[in-house]
Amino acid sequence: MKFAIAVFSPAHAPSSRRALRFAEAVLAGGHEIARLFFYQDGVHSASANIVAPQDELDVAAQWRAFVSDHRLDAVVCIAAALRRGVLDDTEANRYQRPAVNLPMPWELSGLGQLHEAAQLADRLVCFGGD
């Protein structure tokens, strides 16, 4: 089975950790992830500037490692990212901002990528949000 997974909450939220555990279980079960899509406050999970307290899990780092290790298509909604100050090199230059905090393997793209993922996948599973 092919899954698309949308994450609407930041890395420190329990639903982001649940999304990560679900994604790990999908791959462990022999299934496929068509795309991970980070939207709304979920874009913070991709920020390189997230620092977890020493007594907490660093879920943002776990997401980054998971995406890199499995070479997954991980898309961060550009509109939500810009609104929250999550910028890659291109957007930081475009808006003349001094800092880049969206490293590889993340890709900024539009909401259409979520729609496409839903069309490509057998199931769209969403975590977090209001």
Per-residue pLDDT of the chain (130 residues; tens, 9 = 90+): 999 999 999 999 999 999 999 999 999 999 999 999 999 999 999 999 989 899 999 999 999 999 999 999 999 999 999 999 999 999 999 999 999 999 999 999 999 999 999 999 999 999 997 5
| CB contact at 8 A, 59 and 41 | no
- Per the CB < 8 A criterion, the answer to whether 41 and 74 are in contact is no
What CATH code is carried by the domain that includes residue 96?
3.40.1260.10
**Residue 5 bridge partners (DSSP):** 36, 125
Give me the number of domains the chain comprises: 1
Indicate the pTM of the whole model: 0.94
Looking at residue 95, its pLDDT comes to 96
Out of 46, 76, 77, 78, which one is annotated catalytic?
Answer: 77
Angle in degrees, CA 89, 100, 70, rounded to 5: 80
77 is catalytic: yes
Domain that holds residue 101: 2-127
